[in-house]
Structure 1
Amino acid sequence: MVSRIDGEIIRDVINDPRLFSGIERARSGKVQRFGKRIVQGGKCIQECDFEITPPEKSWYSKEIDGVWHWVEGCSHCNGSPKDWDYVRCDKHDVCVDCGVDREHATKSPGIDGVGAVWGCRGGWRCNDCQEQINKKRLAEAEARIVPDDEYDEMDFWHENEARCPWCKAEINTDESYDACDEEHECHECERTFKLTAEHSVSWTTIRSVK
């Protein structure tokens, strides 16, 4: 029978003489840092005493009954997959659509040419799979765009919800309550439009009694 703690598999005892019951522990990626770290005024004045890298990247350290153990942090290995894991094992750290691992996954262009995969619910998605989703979304949005001779701008005036005047997609206006001809790009059809917040004022009067 597999031993567990809080639903996670206990992998092994950590054999390191520097560890003792009650020592402070912090996680930094897969690295486990032990000892007190002191920060004052946003500046670190004392680093942890030492650090240990686990045998597997998804393992993390946990004190159990006064003894430090390696515990499985990959929710898939533990049998209860989560949408968001702190870290996953190599077997389960794959694209949610095609299953390619990180080493062989296509990357999206990044800053200074450094590529990255796309974070998403359930893990991450390689660039090839994300591009397929983008193309499908763009095609569906383009299909909703009516020709210029059928477009009536009044259909988009004084609406309760902002919509893209091209493809009719709903627009997030949480940070646009003071918008006045703000330039926006639609997240579905990728076309630009101008957004203005329309405000109305009403008045109430009541007789004063002397």
Structure 2
Amino acid sequence: MNKNTKILIPEISGDWTERLRSGGTNIWNHALHGKPHRNGLPEVRLDPPETGLYAELIDGAWYWVSGCAKCNESGERWSYSVCDKHNVCRLCSTHRSKLTGTPWGHPDGFTCKPCQDAVDAIAKAEALARFAESEYDQHDFCSMDECKCPHCATGIHIEAEDYRDQNMKCDTCGGLFGLRIEYEPSFTTTVIGERVTA
């Protein structure tokens, strides 16, 4: 795909300045909950003529332009519109159409399941080797400032809304463990009646 691609979209007036994207589909005058857009114009949905293009308003007219960061050599990560040529695994270059499993998202595109499995196996072996060298014991996993897997000592981020006792599986080594949330006591006091001043 040429990074200078610019194809006029005659179906869309330049007066229509609001556009949403849903996957590859571009939507103008998006109707919410079955109600027409506030400008009264009909909703229009168009797919680009080629994968990797998206609609952009340029000098008062809508054009299909390249959204592929690799074609555009923009250096951007997490490209929203990837062309067919660059829609490949970042490690083995297998095209997305040839995948049999769900790929893993990555800032540089995606990683196919076999490649991700290989990456995960290396990370697991490295974590277990570090654990063995460090001679941890069970007391190293008590009253910690962060959650760590007791099998491989990998730090695990827990969102505040997930603060509860639970059984977990480590994403690095696959080890199962129980997590118990421990709280430090804190105190709040309030005056009852009138404040004592003398």
TM-score by length of 2: 0.78
Q: CA deviation at 1:176?
A: 7.0
When residues 178 and 57 of structure 1 are mapped into structure 2, their CA distance, relative to the original with a 3 A threshold, is closer
Show the counterpart of 1:165. 150
CA contact under 8 A between 2:20 and 2:26: conserved in structure 1? yes
> Partner of 2:6 in structure 1?
11
Instruction: Flag the 1:25–1:159 CA change in 2: closer, same or farther, 3 A.
Output: closer
Question: Displacement of 1:51 after TM fit?
Answer: 3.0
Q: Does 1:135 align with 2:121?
A: yes
Say whether 1:68 aligns with 2:53: no
Change (3 A) 1:32 1:156: closer
Aligned position for 2:193: none
SS in 2 for 1:124: strand
- For 2:87 and 2:155, the matched residues in 1 are separated by 33
Q: Is the 8 Å Cα contact of residues 57 and 89 (structure 1) preserved in structure 2?
A: yes
The alignment yields a C-alpha RMSD, in angstroms, of 2.9
Q: Distance in 1 between matches of 2:117 and 2:104?
A: 10
Deviations 1:112-162 (A, max 9, x none): xxxx2111121101111111011112222333455xxx7632222222233
Say which SS state the counterpart of residue 105 (structure 2) adopts: strand
1:55 maps to 49
TM-superposed CA distance for 1:203, in Å, is 6.6
1:1-210 correspondence to structure 2 within 5 Å: 9-14=4-9, 16=10, 18-23=11-16, 24-34=18-28, 36-39=29-32, 43-46=33-36, 48-105=42-99, 107-108=100-101, 116-146=102-132, 152-175=137-160, 178-180=163-165, 182-201=166-185, 210=198
Per-residue deviation at 1:27?
2.3
Kept in 2, the 8 Å contact 1:37–1:44? The answer is: no
Which structure has greater helix proportion?
2
Contact 1:59 1:73 in 2 (8 A): yes
1:141 alignment partner, SS class: helix
Q: Which amino acid aligns with 1:154?
A: H
Structure 1 residue ranges, 4+ long, deviating more than 4 angstroms after superposition: 202-205
CA distance in 2, matches of 1:118, 1:80: 23
CA contact (8 A) 2:127 2:173 kept: yes
Contact 2:31 / 2:43 at 8 angstroms: preserved in 1?
A: no
The CA deviation at 1:178 is 4.7
Question: Is residue 169–residue 176 contact of structure 2 (8 Å, CA) maintained in 1?
Answer: yes
From the superposition, tell whether residues 25 and 195 of structure 1 become closer, same or farther in structure 2 (CA, over 3 Å).
closer
SS of the counterpart of 2:4? strand
Q: Give the whole-Å Cα distance in 2 for the aligned partners of 1:169 and 1:9.
A: 46
Could you tell me how far 1:197 is from its partner in structure 2? 2.0
> Structure 2 regions of 5+ residues with no counterpart?
190-195
Aligned residue in 2 for 1:5: none
Q: TM-score normalized by structure 1? A: 0.74
SS of residue matched to 2:15? coil
CA shift for structure 1 position 80: 0.8
Count residues in correspondence.
185
